Each structure stands twice: as C-alpha cells, then as structure tokens.
Amino acid sequence: MMIRAANTLQEARRVAGMAGQADVRPDWSPVAARVRAEATGGWDDSVAVERFQRCGGRLVHGRGVLTGPRTVRVGAESFTARRGIVIATGSQPSIPRIPGLDEVAFWTTHDVIRAERLPDSLLVLGGGPIGCELGQVLARFGVRVTVIEASDLLLPAEDPEASWVVQAAFEAEGIQVRTGAAVQRVRAEGDAIAVTLAGGAELSGSRLLVATGRRVDLTQLGLESAGLGGGRYIEVDERLRAAGGIWAMGDVTGKAIFTHVALYQSEIVSADILGEHHPPVRYDALPRAVFIDPEVWAVGMTEASASAAGLDVNVAVKHLPSTFRGWLHGGGGSGVITLVVDRRTDLQLGATAVGPSGGEVQGMLALAVHARVSLAELRSMIYASPTFHGAVGEAVAASGRGLMTVLDLGYAGFAPAGNRAPNGQ
C-alpha cells in the first residue's frame, strides 16, 4: 500500500513534459490510515483468526517452545502432536554491531510500517531490497533520503545492471546513494542522528532506518529437546522434514526470505503431512522481487552465481529504452533485461527484468527457467508488440537480424560472462 501510493505520486510527477501539468502535494496520512485500517485491521488479527477458526483451526496466542519430539508448551499449557509439528517462526531484523548504534533510537522496518508521520530526513542503513523499497517510498513523500550500502552496488545479490539502473533512477529523483560505505560510528546529535563513514564523511538525518537484512533466531524454540538445532537455520530435506514428525517452512529454513517461498513450502508440508503426492522442493527457478520503481525482478541464477557454480554462461543485456515499448513509454521507462544462458546446453538458467511491469515480464522468464526452456525455443516464439515482455524477444533475437534491431544497432546479443560497465559501455 505504501509503495503503491508512492508510485502514484511519481506517475503524477511524470505528467509534466508528457501530458500537461499536475500539482502534486504528498500527504502521508491516507497511507497510514489505509495501512492501519485495511492492511492490519487496526493492528488487530481477529478477522484473520476468525477465518482460520472457521476452517477448523485453533489459535493459541503465546510463545511456543518445543519440550520434546512431539510436545510444545505455550505458557502453562502443553500440547501433544498426533500428526506432527510445523515450525514457521520467521525471522527478525538483523542489527549490525556498530559503535553507538545501541545508544540511539533507530527505526527498523516494523517502525516505518507503523509510522503516522514522516521525518524530514532519513538515513537508510542497507541498500538491499527493503532499504531500497522503503527509502524510495519516503523520498517520494518529500523525505530527504540517503541510502548507505557497504558493498559497491545497491541490490548486490542481483546482476550488476539492475544496480546501475536503480542507482541512476534513485539519483535522478534526489535520493542520495553512498555505496562502498563502511559505517564507523553512530551518535545522537540533538534531535538528529549522525553517522560517520570510514574516511571521515559525516551524514545526518532526523531518523535512521536500519535495514541490514533479516536473521533467524533459533535460540528460544527448545529445538534441542527434539534433537534439532545447532545451525543458523533449521535443516530440512526435500519434503521440508526437519526430523520424524517435525516440518519447518518459511524464513527459518534459510532458503530465501519471501512470502512466496513460505507459501510454496507450505503446499509441500501440507501434502506430506496428509500423505499426498507432491513433487519435491526445487529452488532453481526462485523468483526474487524488489518493489521499487523501476521494479526489479530476477529468477534463477545471476551471472555471478552461475560462474561460482562452475557453469560456462553467455549473458545478454538489453536496455529497455532501446526496445520498442521502452522507447514508447518515455519518462519512467528506465530498465534492463539480462538473460543468463548455459553455453553447453543452451538452457535459460536465470534472468533479471528491471523496468515498468518488471514482475509481469519476469513471469514468462520464471516459466522459462522452471521448465528449462532453451534459447532456441525462446527465439522461435511470437512476442506481442509493443509489450515490455517483447523486450525478451528483442534480447534473444540473433544479433543483427530482425526489424527490432534497427532500434538498437549497437546491441551485441549474447556474450561470454565478464566485466561490463553501466549502460553497456
């Protein structure tokens, strides 16, 4: 809801120069009201609980602790499982050890989602998906935002083109980006918070959001009483079994921190508990999403993860403004598609789609990776025109052939993995 509202503001700002004039005056209060009333029911779960109970479930509010392979204690009550126990206790914000951080009042994602008023300025520690999403939302509502990222790229887990496009889009809308920035110290400075970077640069903001990832805490679950524990995550097999009669799913399994992964795993857990057939778990076509504008979607392997796995890959990089639909779109149409193909088998291993409707483009690429579709197959398809997913057709077209290449004479097609620079230079 927050991201949708922020994107609406930005679309209105794009009216100037394309379609006339629009007077845009951001107001956070309808967003906070919508999050409070519609998304969370006033931070009250009774509607969801009632829905669950109508299905025959029973909810016990409280902290559960395993007391044996078949037993769980919640407060004074003890429960014995006939069928099994499912552990789905999620993850928490991971707070880095930075001198001074524990002496200031900082925000985590939890606090941003509950915010009724916005600060004048915000320092965001962490340029991963959540730091980028929330930083851009608040910037679009008029907050002066600086994103501080330790690695050299925003969204460091994805192909570098995604980071370059996002950084350029952020800077174009006034978000300051400090990459390769190691935070040395945090301190309160009156009502503000000051951050010192290695090298001595000082940044200041009226709020500090710590968005440096999530961690799984297994220490309070009583896992050892069931013969589990010891690792960072709960180890599970291909049916999400952690031990006889115990399943785990969601963030605690350490596969990926996404709702769609937890939901996918829950299907397998349910089938396995009920003794029904379900194909074993697979993560090679895992979709990843960053809901910024331009949207960033990725599936399967990046060039870096394919190379790290010892695979010999070819990579195609197609910039959206040089595709038919991207060129038509104009303002707000920055983006890129990267395709990672196994040179030996010609199969699609992974892809990134950045741009307007990035998620919709990624849908077909996710199917291609999941169904192990070959590049030859992708080349033989008819792509509707002009569409954003048509950019995939333009990316896979044999270089120098086809009408669409007229729009992008410099397009090199697939090339072996290797060093590339922003904008294909």
> Which residues are near ligand FAD by CB under 6 A?
63-64, 88-90, 109, 130, 221, 250-251, 257-260, 262, 289, 291
User: Closest approach of Cβ 50 to ligand FAD, in Å?
Assistant: 17
User: Closest approach of Cβ 63 to ligand FAD, in Å?
Assistant: 5
Q: Which is nearer to ligand FAD, 291 or 414 (CB)?
A: 291
User: Closest approach of Cβ 124 to ligand FAD, in Å?
Assistant: 12
- Of 379, 317, 25, nearest in space to 165 by CA: 317
Chain Cα centroid distance, residue 16: 31
State how far the Cα of 266 lies from the Cα of 263, in Å rounded to an integer: 5
Q: Which is nearer to ligand FAD, 28 or 291 (CB)?
A: 291
Written as one letter, the residue type at 182 is A
User: Closest approach of Cβ 296 to ligand FAD, in Å?
Assistant: 12
Q: Which is nearer to ligand FAD, 212 or 322 (CB)?
A: 212
Q: Which is nearer to ligand FAD, 109 or 387 (CB)?
A: 109
Residue nearest ligand FAD, CB atom distance: 250
- Of 361, 365, 363, nearest in space to 351 by CA: 365
User: Closest approach of Cβ 319 to ligand FAD, in Å?
Assistant: 25
Direct distance between the N- and C-terminal alpha carbons of the chain, in angstroms, rounded to an integer: 37
Q: Residue 336: in which H helix or E strand, if any?
A: strand 336-342
**Ramachandran class of 345: left when φ > 0, alpha when ψ lies in -120 to 50, beta otherwise:** alpha
Q: Which is nearer to ligand FAD, 64 or 335 (CB)?
A: 64
User: Closest approach of Cβ 219 to ligand FAD, in Å?
Assistant: 11
Supply 344's token pair: 């030996």
Q: Is the dihedral of CA 165, 11, 129, 181 positive or negative?
A: positive
Residue 319 pairs with which residues in a beta bridge?
Answer: 336
Q: How many C-alpha atoms does 364 have within 13 Å on its Cβ side?
A: 20
Q: CB 56: neighbour CB atoms within 10 A?
A: 6
Q: Which is nearer to ligand FAD, 136 or 314 (CB)?
A: 136
